[in-house]
Amino acid sequence: MQFDLIKGNAVIGQSGGPTAVINQSLVGVVNALRGADAITGILGARNGVRGMIEERFVDLAAVSPETLERVAITPSAALGSSRDKPDKAYCEQIFEVFERNNVRYFFYIGGNDSSDTCRIINELSDDVGYELRCFHIPKTIDNDLVCNDHTPGYPSAARFVAKAFMGDNLDNASLPGIKIDIVMGRHAGFLTAAAALARQHEGDGPHLIYCPERAFDPTKFVADIDRMYTEHGRCLVAVSEGIANAEGESIAAMMASSAEKDAHGNVQLSGSGALGDFLANLVKIELTPKGGNPPRVRADTFGYLQRCFPDASDVDQAEARAAGAKAAEVAMSGDKDGSIAIERVSSEPYKSEMKLIKLTDVAAKTKHMPEEFISECGTDVTDAFIEYAKPLVGELPMVAML
C-alpha cells in the first residue's frame, strides 16, 4: 500500500510517576524513528507537557546508541516527568510550540491520566485542522489501564514487592509478630496482590492481602489478624495504600493530617507512613489483652522504592521497549492516532504482542482487579492471579528455613 506521511519533527514525552522501564519505551520510540524519511528530528520534551510549553527539548537523534542503551536500563524518566494535567488553554500553548517547530508526531508515555492528555491534544489538533499524529504508550506500576493484559512498569514493581515480602516473611518468621506492609496502588490492587508471589512454603506470608477492590472494615481487619496470628503465631499483612471504606472514602486520605492534592485532584497517598502507623496502632490497641503486654506490631510503607528500584524484570524491559517501538512503527505505517496495548498471546511459555487500540478506549479509564483474581474471603488472591503475575516478574530467589 502506498501512502504519504507528512514530514516533520517528532516529540516524545514521559509523564506521571516514573517506573523502572519507562526509559525502555523512550528508547524503543527513538530507535524505530531513526532514519525514517518522514522524521526530520526527534525531540525529547523535558518534564512532559511542561517542557513542551516551555520549549525545553533534547535532540534525541544526537544521542549515541551506547548512551541510549545505558539510558534504557536506567529506572525513572530520563527526560524528566510531569504531573501537570493540561486543559484546553494549556494544549493550545502546546500547539503553538508544535506548529512553530513543525512537530507532526507526538508520542506520550504515561498512565491513564496521560492517555487522556494525549486524547485531548489529539482532538484539539482535529478541531484546529493541524495534522498531528498522537500516540500513547502505556506505563504505570498500578497496572490499572483498561485493554491491557498488564502495563509496562507493573512487572518490575511487582518483582520488587514480591522480593520485599519474601524478605519480610523470613524476617517475620525469625522474630514473630504482626507486620503490616503498605503497598502502592491508588485504585487497583494488582501491586498489593503481587505480595502473594513471595510465598514458597506452607505457612509463608503474606497471610492477609487487602486490595482497594474490597471495602475496608477496620473491625474485620483486626479480627482477621487476630485469627491468623493465633493460627501461625505471627502474621504478615499486605495492605494497599488505596483501601477505602464501604462509602468509598480512602482510609489513607482520612488519616493524612494534611490532605495535599495534585493537579489531577488525587490526594497524596505515598511518601508518608501515616496509614501504616494508624493501622499498626489500631491493631496494637485492639489486640492487647486486658492487663497484658501488647503484641509486637510493626508497619512499613514501601513507598517510592517500588517504582524505581534498580532490579527490573526482564519481561518488563522487553515489553516496554516493544511498546515504544510499536508506537513508532504504526506511526510510520500511516496510522493517525491510538494507544499501544499489551496482549497476552500465551502463558506457557509466556508470550505477548503489542496492538494498537483507540485513545478513547483507554483514556481516563481505570481497570480494577478482576473478580477471579480475588479469593472468596476477600483477603487473598486466587491461583488465577498467581498464574497471571508469575511469568511477569521473572525468576525469584528460592529460600529455605529449618
Q: Which of residues 156-185 bind its own copies (CB under 8 A)?
A: 163-164, 166-168, 170-171, 173-176, 179
By the 8 A CB rule, do 84 and 50 touch?
Answer: yes
The CB-of-84 to its own copies minimum distance in angstroms stands at: 11
Q: Please enumerate in sequence order all residues whose Cβ is within 8 A of that of 238, keeping only pairs 6 or more positions apart, or say none.
A: 165, 181, 183, 192, 193, 195, 196, 206, 208, 209, 210
* Residue tagged active-site, from 84, 116, 142, 316: 142
The CB-of-222 to its own copies minimum distance in angstroms stands at: 17
User: Cell numbers 491508588 correspond to what residue?
Assistant: 186
Q: Which of residues 229-268 bind its own copies (CB under 8 A)?
A: 257-258, 260
Instruction: Decide if 142 is catalytic.
Output: yes
DSSP for 190-203 reads HHHHGGGGG--STT
Binding mask 65-94 for its own copies (x = CB under 8 A): --x--xx-xxxxxxxxxxx-----------
Q: Please enumerate in sequence order all residues whose Cβ is within 8 A of that of 3, keeping only pairs 6 or more positions apart, or say none.
A: 334
Comparison of 82 and 352: residue with beta carbon closer to its own copies? 82
Report how far residue 162's alpha carbon sits from residue 220's, in angstroms, rounded to the nearest whole number. Answer: 25
By the 8 A CB rule, do 237 and 225 touch?
Answer: yes
Q: Where are the beta strands (DSSP E) in 2-96?
A: 8-14, 39-45, 57-59
Comparison of 132 and 287: residue with beta carbon closer to its own copies? 287
Give the one residue of 13, 17, 205, 324 binding its own copies; rule: CB under 8 A: 17
Report how far residue 270's alpha carbon sits from residue 184's, in angstroms, rounded to the nearest whole number. Answer: 7
Comparison of 221 and 302: residue with beta carbon closer to its own copies? 302
**Active-site positions?**
142
For its own copies, the binding residues (CB under 8 A) are: 14, 17-18, 20, 44, 58, 60, 63, 67, 70-71, 73-83, 163-164, 166-168, 170-171, 173-176, 179, 257-258, 260, 270-274, 276-277, 280-281, 284, 294, 297-305, 307-311, 396-402
